[in-house]
Structure 1
Amino acid sequence: MNAGFRDDLSVLANFDTAEDMKITPLVPLGCALAILLTSGCTARRQPSPEHLGEPWNSLRSLGDSVHAAADVGEKARAAGGDRENADGGRYLSEILIQQVGRGVFRDPDYPVFRPQFPESAHTGLVNPDNLYESTHIRPGADYVLRGTRGTTADVTFQVFAGTPGVNGKLRDVGTLSLDNLALDADGNFEVFVGPTAHPQNWIETDDEAGLLLVRWTYSDWASEKAGRVEIHQVGKLGVPAPNPDVGDVARKIREAGAAVPDSAAFWQAYIGKVRLFTSDNAVMKPRLTGSEGLAGQVAAVGKFSLANDEALVVSVPRADARYQGLQLGNYWFDALEWANRQTSLTGGQSHLGSDGRYDYVISATDPGVPNWLDSTGLSEGLFFLRFQGVRTPLTDEEAPTAQLVKLGDVRSILPADTPEIDAAGRRAQLATRQQQLQRRYGR
């Protein structure tokens, strides 16, 4: 301890009365010590009347929002046994993380792209083949994005009004696809987002635009690499950001909290429609994604309902497209664990049969074929097909099909030259998947 400081404390210890200390009895000991050491004591600052109790009251309201979201989850049709409830707990926790992260820390005047990481990227049946990067923008403001193309199978820039998964708010404002992305000779781009017109690479925004999303879509996880992108609002480069405002912080906390049960209810309503209009162990005809998804994407959804000794064989054509993939999901409309289980495959990862189709086998038990999709023990769930950059539309004859079979009969309906994968081969396949994802997110 500093000798001078020790002496100050010894002097203080010898004072018997407030009069000896030359201060009133109402002054705390800590303040008296500060007087001795710094010759002054600053009173605690007081909040302004209009912000009294903030942001603490808004933070407390988060508890009410989580309680409301838990009520949604507990009453959901997806809830039930321990496994379903475990998935539901992760589902609601992920929504909470997303809404607070996006809502409280957004700054549309000083935007930065934030990636969505595998451990908390499942809600809304996110595509495991996408590296998502998003940021908030301000309606009426202009932005410039600069970056490199990379080598992924596809890349898209999309502006939304609203927030994904929040009732009645999500709408596609504008999309710039790879087909229309102008690049220089080195693969660099400059994209313009806002109301001010530009001759190329321009996404026009309206007075409700609020979210900018970039999707880097992988087909071959081993060889492809995402590009890089940075963003700034026109007129803000070199300008210091203002200090946080307590009223603004409190408002963002409350809005983020309110969005948690709202988002939870949204996805349950959405999956309710899917369950209503889709038959078990069948797949719907591919169609264009609506305004709440990726513009120009063709997608098809199906359901599986399996006994322990059953498998669903989903046969998919090799499309004339930049990208195609299939993934599994649960009835929370969450993607199944995709970083450490093989619950999705792209065309680039899949074995193409001698009949020119990809035959995927959905089951809880490994059937020993390359295109196995691990149901992770779920007896019921979803599968979702995506096609991006489709050059030639699929015909009715080429449409995906689904066939329920006994697990022991799987090979009898696959092409005879379908390879076998033993336990060691499957472990190596999964290890490669895990390593490739580490490299993707450790760019």
Structure 2
Amino acid sequence: MAVDTPNPLVDIDAWEAFCDELKAAGQQIIRPEAPTDELNRAEGWRYLTRLTRIALDMFMECSDRDFPSFYRPSHETAKIGADNPDNYYLRAEINGQHDYRISGTRGTVAYLGFIAIAGGYEEADGNMRSVSAIDTHSGLEVNADGSIDVILSQTPQPGNWLKITDDTVAVLVRETYLDRSTETFADLTISRLDMGDSKPAALAGPKLKADLAKTAAFVKGTATLFADWAQGFKEHPNTLPAADQEYCQKLGGDPNIYYYHGYFNLADDEALLIEADDIPQCDNWNFQLNNYWMESLEYRYVQIHVNKHTAKYRSDGGVSIVVSAKDPGCENWLDTTGHREGTMAFRWIGADRIVHPRCKVVKLAELAQLLAQ
């Protein structure tokens, strides 16, 4: 007797649609304004593979909002949107209609912040909106034994409370170091409250199709968003204008951070001199170099960024930072690692006031004289 076999809920069409969307993301790497040299093109194709790895964690491996887990959405080999070399990032996918608890140890990092997120780069508007935030700058409570607990819910709670809404989809954690070699990051876990004896559901066809589609949409949306940013920065090279802070918050920016973004484009005999004559009281500040795709350069092995702790200060209390391909033999030199052009970022974190940095292109032969003035 023949047995009827139902049509599969997930057939090859879902996989082909996923592959087609990933293929379409490649158009961002060959945009006419993007650099065409071997290094930037190679980094562009690698960038898409990195975005795919991040998206697979986000939408495939860690997408059960009833059983959330922290994963790293940006790290040493997977980078997005001027990722901060001083940060250890964590993210967990949640459902704003449920309550959650984050618990663990505070660690010794200079700054620890939690942000509830709505939306994402995979959506049509590309916004990853900040719903609410709690952090060490604004009074995160730490227990006497160094442990912390944060409740995520729509209704207010005693102690550390992170407000969420119906449309909240994730919580993002930023742990900011002054010195990675000596500080200990926070060790955190997250769980949904009122779970009882339930267990994760088996993977269903409709969810698999949706997760594949979101994965590909994230890769394409993220690549497009930051290629648009780089294009805009390129129009005003070797400057560090203040970013639109409200727009940064719509993309998941920390409300305690004041952002600057720019573009460097230097000849072999040139350097970019960045100066801040007055350093405000702050939790941290930093400056970093990125490639065209807004990935931080290789900070594990090369000095491509400087912060409040690692910087060498002038006798007047200000700071001078030098960006160039060749080592000029001065303090606070940052290596462009073979890039003649790329993006860059400056941040004030928890600053009591804002001081705008200044930029100037100088000849390497004249640099020593300028720094001595």
* Same fold at TM > 0.5: yes
Specify the SS of the correspondent of 1:226: coil
Report the equivalent of 1:324: 285
- Which of 226, 235, 259 is 2:218 aligned to? 259
Q: What's the RMSD between the two structures over aligned residues?
A: 2.2
C-alpha contact (below 8 Å) 2:122/2:219 kept by paired residues: no
How far apart, in 2, do the equivalents of 1:74 and 1:400 lie?
32
The answer (yes or no) to whether the contact 1:137–1:211 under 8 Å persists in 2 is yes
Helix, strand or coil at the partner of 1:75:
coil
In the alignment, which of 293, 296, 313 is matched to residue 273 of structure 2?
A: 313
Alpha carbons 1:167, 1:266 under 8 Å: kept? no
Q: How does 1:103-182 map to 2 (within 5 A)?
A: 103-105=59-61, 106-116=63-73, 118-164=75-121, 167-168=124-125, 169-178=127-136, 179-182=138-141
Aligned AA (1:295): P
Indicate which of 139, 153, 178 corresponds to 1:219: 178
Q: Tell me the alpha carbon deviations over residues 209-236 of structure 1, each in whole angstroms, 9 at most, x when there is no partner.
A: 1011111100122221111111101112
Distance in structure 1 (CA, Å) of the matches to 2:142 and 2:196: 24
Question: Which of residues 335, 355, 360 is equivalent to 1:374?
Answer: 335
Q: Determine whether 1:207 maps to 2:163.
A: no
TM-score, with length taken from structure 1: 0.77
Residue equivalent to 2:204: 245
Question: In the superposition, relative to structure 1, how do residues 92 and 247 fare at CA in structure 2: closer, same or farther (>3 Å)?
Answer: same
Residue 165 of structure 1 deviates from its aligned partner by: 6.7
| Distance (Å, rounded) in 1 between the aligned partners of 2:223 and 2:203 | 29
Work out the CA distance in 2 between the residues paired with 1:47 and 1:385: 59
1:188 aligns with 2:188: no
Q: How does 1:223-372 map to 2 (within 5 A)?
A: 223-236=182-195, 238-276=197-235, 279-285=236-242, 288=245, 289-292=248-251, 293-316=253-276, 317-372=278-333
Structure 2 match to 1:82: 38
Question: What SS does structure 2 have at the residue aligned with 1:120?
Answer: coil
What SS does the corresponding residue of 1:145 show, helix, strand or coil? strand
Determine if contact 1:353/1:415 at 8 Å carries over to the other structure: no
User: Does the CA-based 8 Å contact 2:34-2:231 persist in structure 1?
Assistant: no
Which amino acid in structure 1 is aligned with residue 134 of structure 2? L
CA spacing shift, 1:405–1:58, aligned 2, 3 Å: same
SS of the residue corresponding to residue 30 of structure 2 reads helix
Residues in 2 aligned to 1:175 and 1:56: alpha-carbon distance in whole angstroms:
42
Structure index of larger Rg? 1
Give the C-alpha shift of residue 375 in structure 1. 0.9
| Offset of residue 199 of structure 1 | 2.7
Tell me the percent identity: 27
Which residue is 1:426 aligned to? none
- What is the CA deviation profile of residues 157-211 of structure 1, one whole-angstrom value per residue up to 9, with x for unaligned ones? 0011122475413111111121221122122211011213213311211121101
CA distance in 1 between partners of 2:356 and 2:147 (Å): 37
Structure 1 residues 366 and 142: alpha-carbon distance in aligned structure 2, compared to 1, 3 A threshold:
same
Q: Please give the per-residue CA displacement for 1:54-99, whole angstroms capped at 9, x wherever unaligned.
A: 2543223222012101123222522411111012112211121112
Task: Indicate conservation of the 8 Å contact 2:122/2:217, yes or no.
Answer: no
- Corresponding residue pairs, total: 365
1:70 aligns with 26
Distance 1:60 1:339 in 2: 37
- 1:125 and 1:273 map into 2 onto residues whose CA distance is 15
Structure 1 residues 118, 296: CA separation in 2 closer, same or farther (over 3 Å shift)? closer
Whether the 8 Å CA contact 2:233–2:343 is kept in 1: the answer is no
- Determine the C-alpha separation between the residues in 1 that align with 2:274 and 2:342: 14
Give the residue type in structure 2 aligned to 1:312: L
C-alpha contact 1:166 1:263 (8 A) present in aligned 2:
no
Provide the C-alpha distance between the structure 2 equivalents of 1:412 and 1:164, rounded to a whole number of angstroms.
46
Structure 2 unaligned residues grouped into runs of 5+: none
* CA distances 1:235-278 after superposition (whole Å, capped 9, x unpaired): 126532222222212221122123322221121122333334xx
Does the Cα contact within 8 Å between 2:117 and 2:170 map onto a contact in 1?
A: yes
Tell me how far 1:47 sits from its aligned partner. Answer: 6.2
Residues 275-333 of structure 1: CA deviation (Å, up to 9, x unaligned) = 34xx3222224774433211121122233221100101111243310111110112222
How many Å separate the matches in 1 of 2:86 and 2:73? 12
Question: Is the CA contact (8 Å cut-off) linking 1:142 and 1:196 kept in structure 2?
Answer: no
- Relative to its length, the structure with more helix (as a share) is 1
Aligned CA distance change for structure 1 residues 286 and 60 (closer, same or farther; 3 Å): closer
CA distance in 2, matches of 1:253, 1:84: 28
